[in-house]
Amino acid sequence: MNPGGGPGLPCMTRIIADISISLDGCVTGPDPGPGNGLGTGGEALHTWAFSDDPEERRIVRETTARSGAVVLGRRLFDLVDGPGGWDDTVGYGAAEVGRPPFVVVTASPPESVRLTGLDWTFVTTGLPDAVAAARERAEAASADLGRDLDVVLMGGGALIGSALDAGLVEVLSLHLAPVVLGSGTPLFTGGTPHTLVRRSANATPNATHLLYEVL
Amino acid sequence: MNPGGGPGLPCMTRIIADISISLDGCVTGPDPGPGNGLGTGGEALHTWAFSDDPEERRIVRETTARSGAVVLGRRLFDLVDGPGGWDDTVGYGAAEVGRPPFVVVTASPPESVRLTGLDWTFVTTGLPDAVAAARERAEAASADLGRDLDVVLMGGGALIGSALDAGLVEVLSLHLAPVVLGSGTPLFTGGTPHTLVRRSANATPNATHLLYEVL
């Protein structure tokens, strides 16, 4: 059933936070930054996303395919647009379907962009405005394609944590890696309790994929 | 296959840390203590353990049935032996099979024990000694019963975290509740990275049950 697919009904675009996380709740290892994007040991978080396992490939493909627009923070933008960042083989579903528009939350837009082949929007008026801009883009793309596309918050961790605490996240998609990083960037730092409802759980060789609705 | 069940083979007693945890890695909510054992909001961690769901009942039953001995810290002992603690209906598998011996790690044993119907041992020489004492008990019980029983570390969080960092934990059994507690007692605080291998994942209505081997 497609809840937004009937005639006259609005498209059903959800705000999904999608991120890989360790058992100790970290989305990077210690000392993340340029040249060490996921922090020390943090590459273990993404083993599943770079594996050849067909089920893990399917999950990457489906996440990419449902992305009507992607929101990211400025630090993450600097990493992916930096010299060690995305290229033709490593990127947001670079080897998969589609190239969604990207919305970057930043205090001041960069002077130039390396990845000019992608569709970048820089929002300087805060996270809610960035999510609203991404929602517009995702809804327009949904209408064009005739199927529901989502807004995906890809990170970093602080952006997703802030969005969660601001009540902007409708669905939390966690890829739980079998690793304790010891320290790093925690996903949940806001001190705010949240009750969630698990909608699916899917164990693949390198992670456990958990989809929660945020109440 | 029973790896320790062949003639002439030693019993296969594993050291299992078994604990319920929130998505933000907490094993209690904020302000745990007498009268508020799991901290504020922390009861959501144990919804699965007190549900009527047959699969969740089965998991509680199996955990209890495999417990050859149980290790706990002094603060947790004070809670379960305290006035609001365990009784005939709430306890370590009180309504389920068996009553394993309990080994408490403490600087000084209590002057008296309320739950005299249970088998308590107080170890004052540290966690490794407590685990060794529990292993002896579990192995003796395994030999008596002719099936493999484990040492279960039931908590609190600090005890399990310390045991993990000391390399004492062979298997980590996490019951992941669909809740973000915001603050409370984190399970992983040692700053030590660990690589694990997931042996099973089991989604029930109120939790996701994840069994990891600690490498």
pLDDT attached to residue A212 = 97
Residue % of chain A over a pLDDT of 70: 92
Interface test with B, best of A24, A196, A212 (most B CBs within 10 A): A24
* Cβ-based neighbour number of residue A192 at 10 Å: 16
What is the topology classification, in CATH, of domain B15-22+40-214? Dihydrofolate Reductase, subunit A (3.40.430)
Domain A15-22+44-214 superfamily per CATH: Dihydrofolate Reductase, subunit A (3.40.430.10)
Q: Residues of A near B (CB-CB distance < 8 A)? A: 23-25, 29, 41, 44, 164, 172, 174, 176, 178-183, 186-188, 190-198, 201, 203, 208, 210, 212
Q: How many Cβ pairs within 8 Å bridge chains A and B?
A: 91
Residue of A nearest to B182 (CA): A191
Distances (CA, A) of A14 to A24, A178, A192, B34, B91: 27, 28, 22, 42, 42
Interface test with A, best of B20, B21, B22, B23 (most A CBs within 10 A): B23
Q: Residues of B near A (CB-CB distance < 8 A)? A: 23-25, 29, 41, 44, 164, 172, 174, 176, 178-183, 186-188, 190-198, 201, 203, 208, 210, 212
Adjacent-strand bridge partners of B185? B28
Interface test with B, best of A171, A172, A198 (most B CBs within 10 A): A198
Closest chain B C-alpha to A111 CA, distance in angstroms = 37
How far apart CA B65 and CA B73 sit, in angstroms, is 21
Residue of A nearest to B26 (CA): A24
- Residues A66-103 pLDDT 10s: 999 999 999 999 999 998 888 877 777 555 556 899 99
Q: What is the mean predicted confidence (pLDDT) over A124-144? A: 96
pLDDT attached to residue A91 = 76
- Residues B5-37 pLDDT 10s: 344 445 589 999 999 999 999 999 998 877 787
List per-residue pLDDT tens for chain B, 215 residues long: 334 334 444 558 999 999 999 999 999 999 887 778 789 999 999 999 999 999 999 999 888 889 999 999 999 999 999 988 888 777 775 555 568 999 999 999 999 999 998 999 999 999 999 999 999 999 999 999 899 999 999 999 999 999 999 999 999 999 999 999 999 999 998 788 999 999 999 999 999 999 999 99
Torsion-angle region of B42 (φ positive above 0: left; ψ -120 to 50: alpha; else: beta):
alpha
Residues of A in contact with B182 (CB under 8 A): 188, 190-194
Q: Where are the domains of chain A?
A: 15-22+44-214
Q: Hey, are the CB atoms on A178 and B212 less than 8 Å from each other?
A: yes
Residue A210 near residue A173 (C-beta atoms within 8 A): yes
Q: Which amino acid is at B38?
A: L
Residue of A nearest to B184 (CA): A191
Residue of A nearest to B192 (CA): A182
What is the torsional sign of CA A5, A208, A159, B22?
A: positive
Residues of B in contact with A183 (CB under 8 A): 191
